[in-house]
Structure 1
Amino acid sequence: MAANGAIIEAFKDEKRVHIIDFDINQGCQYITLIQSIAKLPGKPPHLRLTGIDDPESVQHLNGGLEIIGLRLEKLAEVLGVSFEFHAVASRTSLVTPSMLDCRSGEALVVNFAFQLHHMPDESVSTINQRDQLLRMVMSLDPKLVTVVEQDVNTNTSPFFPRFIEAYSYYSAVFESLDATLPRESQDRMNVERQCLARDIVNIVACEGEEIIERYEVAGK
């Protein structure tokens, strides 16, 4: 949702906008975005959203993209926003321009929310998947590319500096949880077990290609 402000700015003076989201997750970001578009002065632009999801993900196997699309379409209809949803079932590294159905006359916005850090770069392999993806995206000539990531280096650091970085970063995360949710909260336990614990184990206990959570600082 942090990118929505910039996306709304990109809507100015546009009649048709196409957003490509490389990790749409549950689509919550676009509930807020559609609500914001409905409040814009004048006639809202036509919004076309392409959501990408790994065909092997649990969400996809449970019909996730179709369910997300239907939910967003119903919301847009209620709020009077012209809306289309396009589902792409593909691994991010295998996405090609032909899958994205970019059309002339549309302002293109590409959204990377907590996605790029999962893409291996030159520190892992001579095949730099992250660079290939970004080059492909730039070839589409987007009006805006939004990137949301954690500002911490867990990609190229050796073990001890990586451990210190992770300790400092996740200490702040847990302090935030302490301020908002009691420790016996089921929601908090779900977040800690299913998200934070998995990420921390991967960052601290794995090396080389086994590291999936490859966060980097903003300057990198």
Structure 2
Amino acid sequence: MEFEQLHHSINPGSTQSIHEFSLESVFSLQTEDSIVLSVIQDDALYDHCMERLLEIETELMDFSSMTQDNVICLESSDDVLFELGHDMIQETTGDVSLLKEENSLLKGIHEKLLEDSSLTDLLLMGAEAVEAQNWTLSSNIIAKLRNLLLDGENGGSSFNRLALFFTQGLHYKSITAPEMLLPRPGYRQQYNMSSFQVLQELSPYVKFAHFTANQAILESTQGDQEIHIIDFDIMEGIQWPPLMVDLTMRKDVSFKVTAIIGDQQDVAAVQQTARRLKEYADSINLPFVFKQLVMLNEEDFESIEMGDSLVANCMIHQLHMPNRSFSSIKTFLGGVSRLSPKLVVLVEEELFSFYKFPYMSYVEFFCEAIHHYTTLSDSLGSSFVSANEMELKLIEKEYLGVKIVDSVSQFPCEKKERLLWEEGFASLKGFKPVPLSSCNVSQANSLVSLFSGRFWVQHEKCRLSLCWKSRPLTTASIWVPKSEK
């Protein structure tokens, strides 16, 4: 049997017991004082310099356009040298001198900002340069960041390691390079069980998502005999064995999972998941059926056979999951809405919240990403002692690093692309969010109490969030058809 049982009675008042399973073994929790990661704010000098920098560059571009027919050659961006046609030399000598003066000022501003700025300042400057499509400035900033971060004396702290991932994300957003520090954005890494176990040991992050979703499913299907889950990103299927155990407590209940596959390359991995889940269901005598559907468009969902109780499970951009395209999420939500499921469970990474993501600029998103991932790192680091720093670095490499590079490099600068995210959310227009039950909220509070640090649970506006200090990390919500009372 590949699933081993971990049974936590973290909510004695509930009629449902909570189960968690690990594919290898269970680790003990460790504690440590939290790591405080500070993010330095922009100052007035920086804002003034950036404004002047952009003004000068605009003037340079305007002048270049006006004199394009008379320009014989344009040298490097750092030394703007114009060789004008004979007829224009006398008339434009003063203008060229002025341009050279301003170009020298521009170079001075570049050098001064790069010399005096902190890591956070440089990162934000890089994001602004990328948003403005100033590739010369962005390349200079990225080079400066890499020199600082790859220096042995400056690369040791957790924030510096994360800063290197942000730098790499800016690099991919700016150009295509043959040499890469990390896999290409969108590359799906092979499942690393040891790093996943460490993640579960140090944080309630994964358990919060699974326990909250499963409890909502149990409550909504009470009394039903056929439970059918449509799962957007099943991966290794570790969410479902605990639910299976709870379902065996009911009489004559069957369980069915339809895994939605967005990439043909995932078919083999999903088939392995199906085999493991079938073996586990047989071991506890639970009637179980597994189906899979390669999703191309919303109409594909019409082929799904529905049982008496249909539930859609959608976990989006979780730390341990690969990022999915906006179009695939839109297709999934649009497809399941056609089936009118009894319940839709959404668990969103807070950084990609449907409520704010479509309306952020690249710089705003980049700043939010710094806050989000340093908060995640802080929450994980609080459970370490110095002897286990290698485990923290493993989590950073396997999860945080890949997520940061993916997020920063793939954020769509065109607003119409971001609105695909909002359109996906609009697919649920026939549904309404409902508050999570007091049992579910109590279960979440009991779960976080088992972990060290400053984790807590926030429940407001039909959203249940796992928070670290003042920031939410991931949020769960449940949606039912509007026709239901």
1:167 is aligned to 2:375: no
TM-score (norm 1): 0.76
CA distance 1:94–1:193, shift in 2 (3 Å): farther
Look up the match of 1:52: 260
CA distance 1:92–1:197, shift in 2 (3 Å): farther
Residue from 399, 408, 414 that aligns with 1:195: 399
More helix by percentage: 2
The 1-side partners of 2:242 and 2:390 are apart by: 29
Q: Give percent identity, aligned residues only.
A: 23
Q: Per-residue deviation at 1:50?
A: 0.7
Larger radius of gyration, structure 1 or 2?
2
Deviation sequence 1:96-144 (CA, Å, 0-9, x none): 12442224xx2100110126973426xxxxxxx6545423212211101
Residue from 253, 257, 272 that aligns with 1:67: 272
Amino acid at match of 2:316: F
Q: Per-residue deviation at 1:11?
A: 2.1
Look up the match of 1:113: 315
Look up the match of 2:335: 136
Q: Per-residue deviation at 1:44?
A: 4.9
1:78 is aligned to 2:286: no
Gaps of 5+ in 1: 122-128
The 1-side partners of 2:224 and 2:348 are apart by: 27
Look up the match of 2:127: none
The 2-side partners of 1:45 and 1:115 are apart by: 32
Question: How many matched pairs?
Answer: 200
The 2-side partners of 1:118 and 1:66 are apart by: 20
TM-score (norm 2): 0.37
Amino acid at match of 1:78: S
Deviates more, 1:22-31 or 1:43-52: 43-52
Amino acid at match of 2:259: G
Q: Per-residue deviation at 1:75?
A: 1.3
The 2-side partners of 1:95 and 1:30 are apart by: 27
CA distance 1:22–1:37, shift in 2 (3 Å): same
CA distance 1:197–1:161, shift in 2 (3 Å): same
Gaps of 5+ in 2: 1-209, 426-473, 476-485
Amino acid at match of 2:239: Q
Q: Secondary structure at the match of 1:52?
A: strand
CA distance 1:135–1:55, shift in 2 (3 Å): closer
Q: Per-residue deviation at 1:74?
A: 1.6
Residue from 204, 221, 235 that aligns with 1:11: 221
Q: Secondary structure at the match of 1:24?
A: coil
Look up the match of 1:183: 389
Check conservation: 1:22, 1:92, Cα contact below 8 A: no
Look up the match of 2:292: 87
Q: Secondary structure at the match of 2:255?
A: strand
1:26 is aligned to 2:232: no
Check conservation: 1:37, 1:44, Cα contact below 8 A: no
Q: Secondary structure at the match of 2:286?
A: coil
CA distance 1:92–1:165, shift in 2 (3 Å): farther
Check conservation: 1:22, 1:115, Cα contact below 8 A: no
Deviation sequence 1:58-88 (CA, Å, 0-9, x none): x53xx32222112111211221211111122
Check conservation: 2:298, 2:335, Cα contact below 8 A: no
Q: Per-residue deviation at 1:154?
A: 4.7
Amino acid at match of 1:75: Y
Kindly report structure 1 stretches of 4+ aligned residues shifted beyond 6 Å. Answer: 209-212, 214-218
Q: Per-residue deviation at 1:205?
A: 3.9
Q: Per-residue deviation at 1:10?
A: 2.0
Amino acid at match of 1:14: D
1:148 is aligned to 2:347: yes
Deviates more, 1:16-25 or 1:48-57: 48-57
Q: Per-residue deviation at 1:158?
A: 1.3
